[in-house]
């Protein structure tokens, strides 16, 4: 189990906190390497985890480095956390301000004998750099995704609907070892491809259509994410040209991507290729996003991302061109940023595949 309790404890002093309260699913998983349903409190010296009867046996077997308490009707998570805070005299306590519903925040704030302080940045900062075991899980998630792509190529043919292709992707990702989907697969054929986040529907693939598929799975809690656009039958010259521009934009980024650069700079590299080819106005979203326990994490690769990117960050690189009412192309890989360059976790081919 991958727990990060000591990393969190070490980050508390610089954020001027005695402890941090972790209530989200991803936060719990990051802190404990365990997913039940409970509340984690990490202090500078120790940790406390409350969970209920459904998860206690598993928690006792798997959670290390945290004191366990059983939550039950009459003595819930908040009350247990309050006792622990009193006992350990915790005064300044951070919380996951980006993940906690407002109502829940008010209940915690009323009950707890401490100053609750927004601290989303603490966990986001730690979670941005993946350690070797996290990377291993992400490599495996991507491997399953690459494998599913190979399988789906045998399934796509004229007459298959977007919905059928999406259902088959789900089946393959689970069959090949994914725990669940990282997100609902996007499958868009023909003109639907011009909507970057189209929902799979009744449109069927037909000769001369692009089919864009964006999908990923979860392995040991960690996400993969990949997009490929393939052509059913022969593409027109224009379609081929657009495909090449997207591919070149992606390659321009992959050649230069490394830790220490900003998301804004990398986003700009892709945009420059699009602009030179005359397609900049059709690239309607940012270049990419970090991912890990969640499929969208921070920081992102966009024109507003001006901080140097950390080493060990895993990010998507997904330029696209979307021509309204006609077609779209997106190509998405996931890479790890190192000091010298980046390591591409995605192994699926990127030359235009004609089925």
User: Where does this chain bind Zn ion (CB under 5 A)?
Assistant: 214, 225, 227, 316, 332
3-state secondary structure of 179: coil
Residue (51 or 316) nearer to Zn ion, CB = 316
Q: What distance, in Å, lies between the first and last C-alpha atoms of the chain? A: 42
Residue (122 or 295) nearer to Zn ion, CB = 295
* Dihedral sign from CA coordinates of 25, 101, 215, 298: negative
Contacts of 157 (CB under 8 A, 6+ apart): 205, 232, 355
For residue 334, the minimal CB distance to Zn ion (Å) is 8
CB of 72 closer than 8 Å to CB of 53: yes
Residue (27 or 216) nearer to Zn ion, CB = 216
Using alpha carbons, select from 246, 145, 234 the residue that is nearest to residue 196: 246
3-state secondary structure of 206: coil
CB of 187 closer than 8 Å to CB of 296: no
For residue 69, the minimal CB distance to Zn ion (Å) is 38
CA–CA distance, 340 with 307 (Å, rounded to integer): 18
Residue (112 or 218) nearer to Zn ion, CB = 218
Residue (23 or 142) nearer to Zn ion, CB = 142
Residue (129 or 316) nearer to Zn ion, CB = 316
CA–CA distance, 291 with 298 (Å, rounded to integer): 8
CB of 27 closer than 8 Å to CB of 99: yes
For residue 142, the minimal CB distance to Zn ion (Å) is 12
For residue 141, the minimal CB distance to Zn ion (Å) is 13
3-state secondary structure of 51: strand
For residue 215, the minimal CB distance to Zn ion (Å) is 7
For residue 155, the minimal CB distance to Zn ion (Å) is 19
For residue 305, the minimal CB distance to Zn ion (Å) is 15
Residue (56 or 148) nearer to Zn ion, CB = 148
Residues in the chain: 355
Q: Provide the token pair at 94.
A: 């951070």
């Amino acid at each position: 189990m991958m727990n990060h309790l000591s990393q969190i404890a070490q980050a508390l002093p610089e954020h001027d906190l005695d402890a941090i309260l972790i209530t989200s699913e991803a936060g719990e998983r990051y802190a404990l390497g365990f997913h039940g349903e409970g509340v984690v409190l990490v202090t500078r010296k120790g940790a406390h985890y409350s969970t209920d009867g459904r998860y206690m046996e598993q928690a006792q077997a798997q959670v290390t480095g945290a004191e366990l308490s059983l939550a039950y009707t009459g003595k819930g998570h908040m009350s247990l956390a309050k006792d622990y805070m009193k006992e350990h005299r915790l005064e300044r306590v951070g919380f996951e301000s980006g993940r906690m519903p407002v109502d829940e925040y008010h209940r915690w704030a009323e009950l707890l004998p401490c100053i609750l302080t927004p601290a989303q940045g603490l966990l986001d900062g730690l979670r941005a750099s993946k350690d070797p075991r996290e990377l291993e899980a992400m490599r495996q998630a991507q491997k399953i995704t690459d494998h599913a792509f190979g399988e789906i190529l045998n399934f796509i043919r004229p007459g298959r609907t977007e919905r059928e292709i999406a259902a088959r992707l789900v089946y393959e990702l689970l069959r090949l070892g994914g725990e669940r989907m990282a997100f609902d697969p996007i499958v868009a054929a023909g003109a639907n491809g011009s909507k970057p986040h189209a929902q799979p529907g009744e449109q069927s693939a037909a000769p001369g259509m692009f089919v864009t598929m964006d999908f990923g799975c979860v392995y040991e809690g960690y996400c993969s994410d990949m997009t490929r656009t393939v052509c059913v039958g022969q593409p027109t010259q224009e379609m081929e040209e657009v495909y090449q521009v997207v591919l070149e934009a992606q390659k321009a980024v992959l050649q230069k991507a490394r830790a220490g650069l900003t998301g804004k700079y990398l986003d700009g590299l892709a945009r420059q290729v699009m602009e030179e080819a005359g397609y900049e106005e059709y690239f309607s979203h940012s270049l990419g996003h970090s991912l890990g326990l969640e499929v969208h994490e921070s920081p992102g690769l966009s024109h507003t991302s001006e901080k140097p990117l950390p080493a060990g960050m895993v990010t998507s690189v997904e330029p696209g061109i979307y021509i309204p009412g006609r077609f779209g192309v997106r190509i998405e890989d996931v890479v790890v940023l190192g000091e010298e360059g980046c390591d591409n976790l995605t192994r699926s081919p990127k030359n235009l595949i004609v089925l």
